[in-house]
């Protein structure tokens, strides 16, 4: 009997993890996939480190909140710009100087906070903390080109990226809290080491690096402008939108607006949960609540990528979106934190698949030579939505308590869902047209 149970467990593990291990056994893939995640540690760690360090040295949550908001907004502005530059000039050419800027900014901000520098100095330095290469988008671009034409394994690779991203957030947030409480210098130093090690792993893996627009244009013996125009015409023909903007198709606009709404109501939910837990006298449980969501999302990503789906992409996209939006909208009916935790555990399994579906939609909406830029816009819209959502919810929480915040969450979630369905025709239509990776690279 025990041997049968062991054999069954192994079989389940093989079915779930076998496809992922196959991908990571491909030459160079483990190196860039893991390197991208390690180098991305500033995403979960910097905001938390700034908040704890500033509150410790300046005794002001308002200042800490302002600085983290500035860093988030700067990140939203910088991401599309860096994505566009990566597509134009190459991953190494853009990432190396960007990392240099981040390292100098991190050292400067650490010194300024620990020496209790004037507040204006913090405001001047913080925007440069957004100089983070789009590691996730660059990793996904490598996968899509390596697995060009293999839809099943491409979907699994994007799920693997989702799994690694969730693991990064699960580890990064509590680690930042622990290190920053000990010392802000220690927290920033650890983050800097992660950036250096991850970047070294990623950027020295040359065999999987995709060619930039500059390289592709040079191969064709034309200028980059001519090359982009030529490929844009092919994209427009494949999408059936010859009269539209080559990059900003109606489908891309619909997805980006949906991602803005997704970021808005999820960030509003986070700040409302913190307020609700404080009212319940259980503020110490907030980290556990968010960990439940991240863990459930991690399981969802694992299971989603392990299956070869025959259900059309647009149906999966809208189903996961419905579950997440309606689930979070129901928070306003919760009477204790255990109810919220249970809802998070249930809907979390659709959180990562929602992002994975969004990534797959980008394969139908933007060509490979602008994929990094497209992914960067998706993340930027989500970040801008997050800033707007938490700001709006904060005003209502100050006036009406957590129930005011949850009312905002419900409104934003339902509005976001309505916006997503307004773009139904464009999103569904884009998935029924050719995958734009058919464009030669």
Query: Does one domain contain both 183 and 314?
Result: no
Does residue 439 form part of some domain?
Answer: no
Query: Does one domain contain both 269 and 200?
Result: no
Provide the residue range defining the domain that includes 354: 247-433
Query: Does one domain contain both 260 and 353?
Result: yes
Series of mean pLDDT values for 10-residue runs along the chain (441 residues): 56 65 88 92 79 77 74 84 88 93 92 89 91 89 83 80 79 73 80 92 91 83 78 65 60 84 82 79 71 82 79 88 90 86 88 85 77 82 79 79 86 87 81 56 38
As a 3-state breakdown, the chain gives helix, strand, coil percent values, each rounded to 5, of: 85, 0, 15
Rounded Cα gap, residues 34 and 330, in angstroms: 36
Query: Does one domain contain both 310 and 204?
Result: no
Does residue 1 form part of some domain?
Answer: no
Which pLDDT does position 438 carry in this prediction? 47
Residue 55, number of CB atoms within 10 A of its CB = 16
Query: Does one domain contain both 199 and 254?
Result: no
Query: Does one domain contain both 297 and 411?
Result: yes
DSSP code for 283 = G
Pull the structure tokens for residue 233: 């015409």
Rounded Cα gap, residues 175 and 49, in angstroms: 10
Does residue 91 form part of some domain?
Answer: yes
Residue 207 exposed, middle or buried by CB count within 10 Å (0-12, 13-18, 19+): exposed
Query: Does one domain contain both 57 and 126?
Result: yes
Which pLDDT does position 439 carry in this prediction? 42
Query: Does one domain contain both 147 and 267?
Result: no
Which pLDDT does position 203 carry in this prediction? 93
Query: Does one domain contain both 299 and 427?
Result: yes
The model's pTM:
0.76
Q: Which of 193, 210, 227 is the last residue of a domain?
A: 210
Are the CB atoms for 365 and 436 separated by under 8 Å?
Answer: yes
Rounded Cα gap, residues 248 and 430, in angstroms: 13
Which pLDDT does position 1 carry in this prediction? 55
Query: Does one domain contain both 254 and 122?
Result: no
Rounded Cα gap, residues 120 and 126, in angstroms: 10
Are the CB atoms for 35 and 91 separated by under 8 Å?
Answer: no
Query: Is the alpha carbon torsion for 158, 160, 165, 166 positive or negative?
Result: positive
Which pLDDT does position 13 carry in this prediction? 56
Does residue 179 form part of some domain?
Answer: yes
Query: Does one domain contain both 187 and 325?
Result: no
Does residue 441 form part of some domain?
Answer: no
CATH of the domain at 315: 1.20.1250.20
- CA torsion, points 14, 20, 26, 31, in degrees to nearest 10? -130
Does residue 221 form part of some domain?
Answer: no
Residue 310, number of CB atoms within 10 A of its CB = 5
Which pLDDT does position 404 carry in this prediction? 86
Query: Does one domain contain both 311 and 397?
Result: yes
Domain total in the chain: 2
Q: Which of 165, 193, 210 is the last residue of a domain?
A: 210
Q: Which of 163, 188, 210 is the last residue of a domain?
A: 210
Which pLDDT does position 99 carry in this prediction? 94
Residue 59 exposed, middle or buried by CB count within 10 Å (0-12, 13-18, 19+): exposed
């Amino acid at each position: 009997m025990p041997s049968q149970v062991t054999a069954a467990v192994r079989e389940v593990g093989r079915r779930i993890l076998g496809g992922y291990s196959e991908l990571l056994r491909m030459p160079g893939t483990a190196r860039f996939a893991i390197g991208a995640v390690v180098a991305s540690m500033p995403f979960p760690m910097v905001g938390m480190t700034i908040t704890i360090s500033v509150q410790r040295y300046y005794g002001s949550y308002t200042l800490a909140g302002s600085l983290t908001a500035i860093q988030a907004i700067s990140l939203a502005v910088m991401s599309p710009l860096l994505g566009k530059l990566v597509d134009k000039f190459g991953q190494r050419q853009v990432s190396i100087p960007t990392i240099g800027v981040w390292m100098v900014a991190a050292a400067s901000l650490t010194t300024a906070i620990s020496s209790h520098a004037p507040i204006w100095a913090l405001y001047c330095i913080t925007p440069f903390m957004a100089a983070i290469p789009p590691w996730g988008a660059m990793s996904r671009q490598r996968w899509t080109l390596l697995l060009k034409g293999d839809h099943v394994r491409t979907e699994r690779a994007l799920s693997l990226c989702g799994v690694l991203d969730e693991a990064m957030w699960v580890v990064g947030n509590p680690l930042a809290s622990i290190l920053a409480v000990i010392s802000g210098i220690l927290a920033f130093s650890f983050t800097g080491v992660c950036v250096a090690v991850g970047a070294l792993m990623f950027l020295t893996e040359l065999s999987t690096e995709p060619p930039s627009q500059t390289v592709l244009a040079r191969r064709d013996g034309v200028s980059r402008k001519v090359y982009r125009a030529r490929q844009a015409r092919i994209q427009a023909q494949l999408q059936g939108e010859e009269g539209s903007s080559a990059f900003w198709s109606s489908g891309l606009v619909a997805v980006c607006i949906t991602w803005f709404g997704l970021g808005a109501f999820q960030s509003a939910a986070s700040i409302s949960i913190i307020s609700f837990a404080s009212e319940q006298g259980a503020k110490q449980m907030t980290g556990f609540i968010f960990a439940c969501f991240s863990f459930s999302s991690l399981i969802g990503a694992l299971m989603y990528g392990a299956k070869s789906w025959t259900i059309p992409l647009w149906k999966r996209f809208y189903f996961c979106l419905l579950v997440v939006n309606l689930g979070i909208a129901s928070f306003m009916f919760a009477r204790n934190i255990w109810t919220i935790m249970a809802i998070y555990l249930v809907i979390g399994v659709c959180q990562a698949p929602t992002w994975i579906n969004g990534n797959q939609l980008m394969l139908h909406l933007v060509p490979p030579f602008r994929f990094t830029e497209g992914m960067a816009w998706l993340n930027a819209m989500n970040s801008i939505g997050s800033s707007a959502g938490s700001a709006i919810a904060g005003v209502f929480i100050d006036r009406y308590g957590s129930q005011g915040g949850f009312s905002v969450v419900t409104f934003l979630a339902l509005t976001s869902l309505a916006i997503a369905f307004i773009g139904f025709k464009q999103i569904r239509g884009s998935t029924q047209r050719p995958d734009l990776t058919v464009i030669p690279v």
